[in-house]
Structure 1
Amino acid sequence: MQRALVTLTPSESKRLIAKAIVALEEVQHALENGFVYIATGTTAAYVAEEILREKIEKEKWTVGTISKGRTCVTAKKTWPKHLVLYKGKPYEGEPLEALKEMGPDDVYIKGANAIDQNWNVAVFAAAPDGGTIGRTFGWTITKGVITITPISLEKFTPTPVEVSAKLTGIYSFDWGTGLYAALVPIPHAIPVTEVEAYEILANVDAIPIASGGAGGAEGSVTLVLEGDEEDMEKAKEITKAVKGEPPLKPYTEEDCSICPFAKVCGIGTGVF
């Protein structure tokens, strides 16, 4: 039995988790035989890169974002389209049409903003129609679509997400430091954190023991890895492969006057 101490920055964790998701048997099966639907988001962007094997502007591959110390959105002109693959190739129809065809052998991948002590996850939604999760949730849960949530333990919260959900909503706040949003639980999601990633990729145990940092290590997760010598060697190589992943650049809409969410934002409404 070997043991290692590993610290991963948020971007390194995202890359690790993305590699693990692509390696999942369910994802590989869907890539060969059916649909893989990747909803936009910065963490999901890493999954898209691993599947497409090409670089994308990950900071802009989202609408809602927590950036520059606030909840916010990206510029509307950059809002991306969800990536849908059918048998490994881009789906020619609209994403909603793919959702109508998807079933229990297909995969839906959606990042999130919170994971609690019970490994339940939830995602922010600021659009009145529920945003991405509001438009896709019904299709995925009723038809048993495999829902996978890539999420780093930097997003761990001690508050159960079902409690947090009752405290939030776009009209629930009197003031705030950014965009108001609802936290929406995704009860049927299968979360993939650093813990699952190391198990999937190297068959080693990863035990989170600390978090945070400074000087570029803000949001980091520190883990103890344990496993047999051969598996730990795999874990070492995987860790080397993700170390040095550059951080995402801060990116938000700069002009509140043209932001479609200004009326549900502490900054946009001028109350903060």
Structure 2
Amino acid sequence: MQRALVTLTPSESKRLIAKAVVAMDEVQKALKNGFIYIATGTTAAYIAEELLGEKIEKEKWTVGTISKGRTCVTPKTTWPKHLVLYKGKLFEGEPLEALKEMGPEDVFIKGGNAIDINWNVAVFAAAPDGGTIGKTFGWTITKGVFTITPISLEKFVPTPVKESAKLTGIYSFNWGTGLYAALVPIPHAHPVTEVEAYRILAGVEAIPIAAGGAGGAEGSVTLVLEGDDENMEKAKEITKAVKGEPPLEPYTEDCSICPFAKICGLGSGSF
């Protein structure tokens, strides 16, 4: 039995989680025989890179973002399209058409903004129509599509998301430091954190023991890894492979032209 102490920055965690998601049996099966639908988001961008084998401007592969100390959106001119694969190749139709065809053997991947003590996850939505989760939730939950939420423990919150969600909504706030949003629980999701990632990739247990940092380590997660000698060697190699993953650059819309300005503390001038 070996034990190790590992600290991962947010970008390193995202890369680790992406590798684990791609290695999951459900994903590998769908990659060969069905649909994989990847909704846009920064963590999801790492998964897209792992599946496609090519680099993506990950900070641009999202609409909603928390950047520069605020909830925000990326520039509308670069809003990305969701990635859909069918039997390992790019799906030629619109993403909505894929959702209509998907079922329990297919995979839907959507990142999140919160994971609570019970491993329940939730995601922000700021568009009046519910954004990505609002447009896809009905299709995925009613048809039993296998839904994965890749999410780092940097997003751990002590408040149950079913309770905190009741406090939110785009018209629920008088002022704020950024974009107003609703927190939407994803009750049918299978979260993949650093804990699941190490279990999937190396067969070792990962126990979160600390969080945070400074000087470029803000948002970090520190874990104790435990396992037999062979699996811990795998864990060491996996950890070496993700260490040094560069952080994402800030990328936000100009407040003066933002389409969400009216539901933003900064854009509306309420803060």
TM-score range, shorter chain: over 0.9
Distance 2:69 2:257 in 1: 20
| Correspondence for 1:265 | 264
| Correspondence for 1:165 | 165
> How big is each residue's C-alpha offset from its partner over 1:110-145, in whole Å with a ceiling of 9 and x where there is no partner?
000000000000000000000000000000000000
- Residue 49 in 1 paired to residue 86 in 2? no
| Correspondence for 1:187 | 187
* Residues matched between the structures, number: 271
- Residue 175 in 1 paired to residue 209 in 2? no
Structure 2 residue identity aligned to 1:227:
G
| Correspondence for 1:133 | 133
Unaligned runs of 5+ in 2: none
> How big is each residue's C-alpha offset from its partner over 1:223-268, in whole Å with a ceiling of 9 and x where there is no partner?
0000000000000000000000000011101x22221100100000
Unaligned runs of 5+ in 1: none
SS at match of 1:50: helix
> What does 1:38-187 correspond to in 2, within 5 Å?
38-187=38-187
Distance 2:255 2:199 in 1: 43
Percent of aligned pairs sharing the same letter: 87
Distance 1:230 1:115 in 2: 31
| Correspondence for 1:5 | 5
SS at match of 1:43: helix
Structure 2 residue identity aligned to 1:268:
G
Distance 2:159 2:261 in 1: 28
Shift >6 Å, 4+ stretches: none
Distance 1:230 1:187 in 2: 36
What RMSD in Å do the two structures reach over aligned CA positions? 0.3
Distance 2:124 2:235 in 1: 32
> How big is each residue's C-alpha offset from its partner over 1:32-54, in whole Å with a ceiling of 9 and x where there is no partner?
00000000000000000000010
Structure 1 residue identity aligned to 2:213:
G
SS at match of 1:138: helix
SS at match of 1:144: coil
